[in-house]
Structure 1
Amino acid sequence: MTEDLSVKNEEDSLWLNPIDDFVSDQKIKPLYCIRQGVVFIIDATEPMFEINPITNTSYFSQCLKACKSILSEKLSWNTTDYIGIILMGTNKWDQDPEIKHVLSWLTFEEVSIDQRKKLDKALLDIETFHSEIGSSEAYPLYDALWHASRSLSTVKVKMPFRRIVVFTRSDDPLSNNQTERYRIRMKAKDCSDMRVPLTVVGLGEEWEPEHFFAELEVNSGKFKTIDDYQRTFLSDIEEEVKHPSRTSAKFEWELGGEVKLGVRMISIISKSKFPRKIHLKKENNEPLDVHTFWRTMQNNDSENESSEDEGDQERIKSHASLYKSNVWHYVTYGGRQIKFTKSQAQNLKKIYEPGMKLLGFKPRSELSVTYHIEPAKLITYDETTLRGSRALFACLLAQCMVKNVMPICVLTSRQSSSPNLFALVPDSTYEGFYAYRLPTTENLRDLAPLIGEYIYDKERVCSTNEDTLDLCRKIISRSTFMYEPTMFRNPKLHMELASIESLALDEDSLRAPLDTTIPDKKVLYERLGTLKDKFESVISIHDSIPQKRPINSAPDGFNKNAKVEEELDFEQRSGRKKYSKTAERLPTECRDTASWQEK
């Protein structure tokens, strides 16, 4: 059991009486808002403008590119997150005379195209941007933290996820001014009291966090002790801000009788979704509001619905619209329709109130890896729901680790969600349980027929021997690599996001993103060496593949892959269906084609 989970003082003592004064009688409100606010503090002193030998760009440029990448993704997803950038150590600062050498370069506000354009302009010429803002010898980290805290607190919108990120090149600043260092530590502790995590990203291989910043992040509450500290790199902070782990629900865990503790469920993996579609007006591309109404279905409505004009639709809506209270849901049982009102249909899901109930314990070995329905969630304690939960949670976690068992619970995360069975696998590293949803009968599938039909071909059996198998083992060994989820992106999704970005910035051409699902043949062949040729000679794979007959053969003397030359006469090109012209010249060519055909 780790030291930070043990009971250290009276404040962490165990309170289990549900009628105790510390237990809140108010109903726990579910979390539905996921708005995120991030303030980036970038060090603008002279060391930040040095060239990184690995990337051949300045460290300051790397920070702006990371902020641009985060901002671009949030704009593509049309989120309502807030982002701000504060530069410290500049010769130019805001009009406030009390905060010198601190410049609020990007105002903390909802993400917008103007912020992206400002970042693009700065990255276009870093030297000119550096000459405009200048660099001073001062290191006003305290003033920058105060300004960032004020920016986060002045925004009067619901923002449950807020954080401050510091990019710096200096690992031992203000070493001769212990008073200023003490002020910075106290300001970091204030961020912890405000529930605003503070993250410091050190740049450069020689950056040593043990000099000052490791202790600073411990004071901010990000780490329990100095031994738990882990350095955050620039690539890490991009993934943390783009795909943060979020608290999806808070509820009580009923252990038996009147013994309960407060817990929260954290989503550590989110499924990639395509951007939400918006209905536009055909005439001027104006966004439209969608309203749904109910009406009675006539016998001939399905036939005439496609031919109705706007007047007929307005008449149907005004004369045949129904109230939601008059809409019934039904399920057919035994040839009869069992009807339910909307409220009754919703109450069918409310078998349990939101919360988690312990059913028993099972050995951890009984959880099969094949029982995968959805990504696991992290269950950890929550002192704000029920005081004393931390101590009881720590004892339960420790005993599960010692006895090598996992709790089996029924979990209902929200009011309208159905209950599901979960197996909680203890993990002392992250001070919680990984909740794996257990499958039911309808979730199980028999894959034997599919495997026999598509994986193994009985008609074309490959003749192998021990030498061939040994060759295949070597090929697998050389082509194997460590898998990371961030290595492969959905090409269709990122192509759509790139198209949205290009339209928003009024760019003439689309910069297609790299398709990471296609393997790099050059790198693969270099790793295989001569094994590729040996495998092809042993298996004779090219001889066994039958040649497919072309569906439509091209006419004699016509090469489909030949490129159309620019000097080709337009009268000859107009008879073909495809032109080798860019999208910008296509309207002009179409007009020329129409005039030529009239002549």
Structure 2
Amino acid sequence: MLKRPPPSDNKKADRDSPTSAALKCAYQLMQQRIISNPNDMMGILLFGTKETKFDETSASDMAYPHCYLLADLDVPAAGDVKRLRNLVEDEAESEELLVPSKEGVNMSNLLFCANQVFTTNAPNFSSRRLFLVTDNDNPHADDRSLRSAAAVRAKDLYDLGVIIELFPISKPGYGFDRAKFYDDIIYRTSLSDPDSPAPISSAAKNSSSGDGITLLQSLLSSINSKAAPRRALFNLPLEIGPEVRIGVKGYIMIKRQEKVRSCYVWLGGEKAQIATGSTTQMAEDTARTVEKTEIRKAYKFGGEAVSFTPDQIKDMRNCFGEPVIRIIGFKPMSMLPIWANLRTPTFIYPSETDYVGSTRVFSALQQKLLKDKKMGIAWFIARKNAAPVIAALIPGAEQLGDNDEQLMPPGIWIVPLPFADDIRQNPETTLVQTTDTLTDLMRSVIQQLQLPKAIYDPVRYPNPSLQWFYRILQAIALEEDLPERPEDKTIPKYKQIDKRAGQYVIEWGEELENEYRHWASKSRKSSSALTKRSADTAAAHATSLAKRVKTESGAPPASTSDRGMTDAEMMEQNERGNISKLTMPVLKEWLGARRLPTSGKKADLVDRIQKYFDK
């Protein structure tokens, strides 16, 4: 694994050996996990090395020959990251340590050593996994006894709850064959396994031809896909009918990544230290410390505070029953509008823990919904003390990658639907309809700005704010120089945009100016004609309007509501400043005849009419 790929002039060709790529991958993974999951434990065990090391006290311990424990299983500290970084960046140190043994690799000793590390440092952890990176698909080709011993050690690990994840590396011109040895060592995830939604990693290829798919990138992609264990959000019964229940587990597959603050750090001393905080609740009048037993929750109702005991609040929250997913009917998928979604959907998968046979029933339900293009409507309570919601059960088909690698397993998505009180009216907007010529020109602009393959890949555009935050945090923790500016991959490539679509944008802008001039001249002509007509009718109408005003005891000229005011009459009142003297029925009738909103106070109606004439 220490052999480097042949030199190449291509900038995208591999420069790292498989061992170096694996260590760099471990270094980047440790950098990510130490910030995003600071409580997770990590360890690095090298096998097949000339030197042997299991613990710090005994460097010549030969209980596990040719196994070198580079980093013991523990929460990574800044020192561990620095040491791994030096090993990755210093070629002399890596060549001194990474000397292969002349003897063959004994997989039984490796798995037994890993077993010892897990039982010593993490005996009670619910999620324990061993990431095995190798390019040797048949380490014991001629020794059946060693193959059997390795299979026994692997079975011991699985009995302890340790899941082995294989990350194979294909050699140039030779593929990695799992069937030769690792099918007896690596157990395929079963449907009853809580980690089953994780896809199976395909072999990473050593790109010596410079095709852009480098070994390091392939390893990072494979390991990142399984870096975070699939912890179930809930384990609930899915009630399909009366007394017909199966078991399912829910997972959050899509989640907004945010800055996670796990602790406070004090930077006032020579070294950064973790600050320990404490909170004390005190009475406002006497400054006396208040105990938890003296605190009661209260809600304001009718201007008064109504308090409840903890037992009363618990009873109110549990009045809707136990957590469950209960199907109450089925509807066509076409009836679900795109806006009917309140929160991030939850992915559910069958579980055989509580109900045997759940997998078959769940699979039949999912395939039937897909075939008939139907969705289920369910009563959904995610956990205790949670508010019930009406949710749509939308089937999800299996998604495969280019190499038949599973990107998304088949399952069902739970989409919370809004109640009637959650739906709000859209705000009032004034739309201006474009012309066919402008539409055709804009179509050319959009076609020139299409992404490659018309697919947006969010992996290629990391959040610049998060990356800058983590970069500063890493520099402080590892005592590195602070970076000067963040790397923002979301900044548009202006030169390329101008080269591809600049001329089309200019043509569209020129056409827009021409259309505006045409519209402005047409509006001026219609306005002058309207003014001329209003002058002719104003004299004839002035007498009758004055008589009506006199007969109504000095009331403002609002009696035109009997027949409705024309645009010319309303424009005349606007020019004289008499619109505010008209009555509300006249204003509302005039606005309603022109399909304008009639809600609001009188000042709102007057303002709406004035804006109409301004346009």
Same fold (TM over 0.5): yes
SS in 2 for 1:199: strand
Deviation of 1:135 (Å): 0.9
Give the direction of change, closer, same or farther, for the CA distance of 1:229–1:244 in structure 2 (3 Å limit).
Answer: closer
Q: Are 2:40 and 1:61 equivalent residues in the alignment? A: no
SS in 2 for 1:57: coil
Q: Which 10-residue stretch deviates more, 464-473 or 78-87?
A: 464-473
Give the direction of change, closer, same or farther, for the CA distance of 1:479–1:448 in structure 2 (3 Å limit).
Answer: farther
Deviation of 1:263 (Å): 1.8
Q: Are 2:345 and 1:376 equivalent residues in the alignment? A: yes
Question: Identity over aligned residues, as a percent?
Answer: 20
Q: Are 2:279 and 1:292 equivalent residues in the alignment? A: yes
Q: Are 2:483 and 1:510 equivalent residues in the alignment? A: yes
Give the direction of change, closer, same or farther, for the CA distance of 1:379–1:182 in structure 2 (3 Å limit).
Answer: same
Q: Are 2:134 and 1:168 equivalent residues in the alignment? A: yes
| Aligned amino acid, residue 306 of structure 2 | I
The partner residue of 2:411 within 415, 432, 449 is: 432
Deviation of 1:335 (Å): 4.2
SS in 2 for 1:254: strand
The CA deviation string for residues 440-459 of structure 1, in whole angstroms up to 9 with x for no partner, is 2344344453xx47xx678x
Aligned match of 2:455: 482
The partner residue of 1:79 within 38, 58, 61 is: 38
Larger Rg: 2
Give the direction of change, closer, same or farther, for the CA distance of 1:52–1:239 in structure 2 (3 Å limit).
Answer: farther
Aligned match of 1:340: 308
Provide the C-alpha distance between the structure 1 equivalents of 2:347 and 2:440, rounded to a whole number of angstroms.
47
Aligned match of 1:589: none
The partner residue of 2:290 within 302, 322, 326 is: 322
| Aligned amino acid, residue 74 of structure 1 | R
For these two proteins, the number of residue pairs brought into alignment is 469
Deviation of 1:65 (Å): 1.7
Give the direction of change, closer, same or farther, for the CA distance of 1:256–1:219 in structure 2 (3 Å limit).
Answer: same
Provide the C-alpha distance between the structure 2 equivalents of 1:478 and 1:262, rounded to a whole number of angstroms.
42
Provide the C-alpha distance between the structure 1 equivalents of 2:335 and 2:174, rounded to a whole number of angstroms.
46
Aligned match of 2:65: 100
**Structure 1: which 5+ residue stretches go unaligned?**
1-44, 299-315, 545-599
Give the direction of change, closer, same or farther, for the CA distance of 1:397–1:279 in structure 2 (3 Å limit).
Answer: closer
Give the direction of change, closer, same or farther, for the CA distance of 1:208–1:283 in structure 2 (3 Å limit).
Answer: closer
Q: After the TM superposition, which residues 30-41 of structure 1 pair with which residues of structure 2 at under 5 Å, given as runs?
A: none
The CA deviation string for residues 234-253 of structure 1, in whole angstroms up to 9 with x for no partner, is 13234224554321122223
SS in 1 for 2:112: helix
Deviation of 1:266 (Å): 1.6
Give the direction of change, closer, same or farther, for the CA distance of 1:134–1:477 in structure 2 (3 Å limit).
Answer: closer
The CA deviation string for residues 195-241 of structure 1, in whole angstroms up to 9 with x for no partner, is 4332222335645233547962884123789xx96515413234224
| Aligned amino acid, residue 535 of structure 1 | V
Provide the C-alpha distance between the structure 2 equivalents of 1:222 and 1:51, rounded to a whole number of angstroms.
37
Q: Are 2:85 and 1:115 equivalent residues in the alignment? A: no
Deviation of 1:159 (Å): 2.6
Q: Which 10-residue stretch deviates more, 121-130 or 279-288?
A: 279-288
**Structure 2: which 5+ residue stretches go unaligned?**
54-59, 204-217, 399-408, 515-615
Deviation of 1:178 (Å): 4.6
Deviation of 1:369 (Å): 3.0
The CA deviation string for residues 375-411 of structure 1, in whole angstroms up to 9 with x for no partner, is 3222112222333433433443344444443332222
Q: Is the 8 A contact 2:164 2:186 kept in 1?
A: no
Higher relative CO (CA 8 A, sep ≥ 6), structure 1 or 2?
1
Aligned match of 2:202: 231
Q: Which 10-residue stretch deviates more, 79-88 or 509-518?
A: 509-518
Aligned match of 2:48: 89
Provide the C-alpha distance between the structure 1 equivalents of 2:284 and 2:7, rounded to a whole number of angstroms.
68
Aligned match of 2:175: 208
RMSD: 3.6
Aligned match of 1:548: none
The CA deviation string for residues 403-444 of structure 1, in whole angstroms up to 9 with x for no partner, is 443332222232232222222223463243222222223443
SS in 1 for 2:165: strand
Provide the C-alpha distance between the structure 2 equivalents of 1:399 and 1:411, rounded to a whole number of angstroms.
21
Q: Is the 8 A contact 1:81 1:110 kept in 2?
A: yes
The partner residue of 1:198 within 158, 164, 187 is: 164
The CA deviation string for residues 267-294 of structure 1, in whole angstroms up to 9 with x for no partner, is 2223212131645668657644433343
Aligned match of 1:147: 113
Deviation of 1:91 (Å): 0.5
Aligned match of 1:421: 390
